[in-house]
Amino acid sequence: MGHQELPAWAQRIRRERELRGWSQVEAVRAMAAHADEALPDRTHILRRWKAWEAGEHKPDDRYQSLIARTFGTAKHAMFPTGGRRHSHAELLAATGMDTLEVIGRIRASDLDGATLDALRITVDRLCSEYAYVPSEQLVVEGREWLGRVAELRNGRLTLAQHREVLTLAGWLALLVGCVEYDAGDQLNAEATRRAAFSLGREAGNGEIQGWAHEMRAWFALTSGDYRGAITAAQAGAEVAKGHGVAVQLAAQEAKAWARLGDRRQVGVTLDRGVKILNALPYPDNVAHHFVVDPSKWDFYAMDCYRILGEDAMAQNLAEEVLRATNDRAPMRRAEARITLGVVAARAGELEQAVGQGRRALTDGAKRSVPSLLMCSAELAAILRQRFAGEGTTRDYLDQLRALGST
């Protein structure tokens, strides 16, 4: 079996080992050091390791966790599992209603169990479309559904129905706030985020409150308020224990520590995040924006390594992100390309650096302007420092300024 024909997980094991300059014997020794209990004889484990890298036998669940721990990442980032997504077809199959009938029932205040199920599926669908539906389209539909659900609060509801309506409105408010911020509408995004937090608090939903704090951390990070991002992430962690958002809160905190140049805190925070992630069950719907996709851990760590100047690690993770994603994860792919551009620029490869930077700005219809500008500014700073007089640099900076003006 040729190297290119190996399963993705086998190639990943080999790449991670080679990146660290380990022999297979050294990798086995490192894995044993990370184990909570004694492993079988080293010779036996070495045979297993060779078989894993050759793609002959996939590690079982125990060894998947241990291999991931050895390389400082999440199990499902190295060994992905497929997830399902909700859709219009699922709405019809699960409830017997299409979207128009659901809207009709809401207007008639006919809030029975089937209608609530239909609303849940609709909210899940909208949140699952975040990554690829253009912001101007999604924000309109999100606001319309938020208005419809909010109107239900004025009807006669049981206590359980009232809490469910608050929860659904909270998820929609989070979604709308994210899309508003992507489009550069920062004032409305912050107001919507606050509304989502209030809805989550009124519903007693710590997960929604945690995501509202995560949004605050994201807003602060992309505006350069790194201490504010850390404060928001830590506040969110207090209310989000046991929920997946705790992973993303740790990621945002680590990104902020990286930008403050604190390597020790980056390591501590990433380690905390990956431990939380590995303890969570694999989600049913990884496309949902407010569900932490385990494969995104590479994306989070990539950002930190790029900022800290760990170019080999950052490049490896950027390539993993591009291998693991498709056009329905355009922002992850864009930031991975910027990372490759930064690494190339530091190595003196101007054409490759600008080529990756341009692809990040132009590939895909969906993009978060604040996040894209934050990462692109890092590449721009290196180009100004090292290639200020080059026409290629000037052209790229002009393109970046045009994006900022929007």
Task: Inform me whether the pLDDT recorded for 105 exceeds 70.
Answer: no
In the prediction, which pLDDT does 327 show?
74
pLDDT over 70, % of the chain: 90
Tens of pLDDT, residues 349-399: 999 999 999 999 887 666 788 888 999 999 999 999 999 989 999 999 999
Three-state SS letters, the chain: CCHHHCCHHHHHHHHHHHHCCCCHHHHHHHHHHHCCCCCCCHHHHHHHHHHHHCCCCCCCHHHHHHHHHHCCCCHHHHCCCCCCCCCHHHHHHHHCCCHHHHHHHHHCCCCCHHHHHHHHHHHHHHHHCCCCCCHHHHHHHHHHHHHHHHHHHHCCCCHHHHHHHHHHHHHHHHHHHHHHHHCCCHHHHHHHHHHHHHHHHHHCCHHHHHHHHHHHHHHHHHCCCHHHHHHHHHHHHHHCCCCCHHHHHHHHHHHHHHHCCCHHHHHHHHHHHHHHHHHCCCCCCCCCCCCCCHHHHHHHHHHHHHHHCCHHHHHHHHHHHHHHCCCCCHHHHHHHHHHHHHHHHHCCCHHHHHHHHHHHHHCCCCCCHHHHHHHHHHHHHHHHHHHCCCHHHHHHHHHHHHHHHC
Which of 65 and 257 is assigned the larger pLDDT? Answer: 257
Report pLDDT for 232: 98
pTM exceeds 0.75: yes
Does residue 142 surpass a pLDDT of 50? Answer: yes
Q: What's the confidence (pLDDT) of residue 84?
A: 44
Given this model, what pLDDT does residue 396 score? 92
pLDDT score at 3: 45
Confidence of residue 83 (pLDDT cuts 50, 70, 90): very low
Better pLDDT: 104 or 272:
272
Whether 12 has a pLDDT exceeding 50, the answer reads yes
Q: Does residue 89 surpass a pLDDT of 60?
A: no
* pLDDT at res. 77: 83
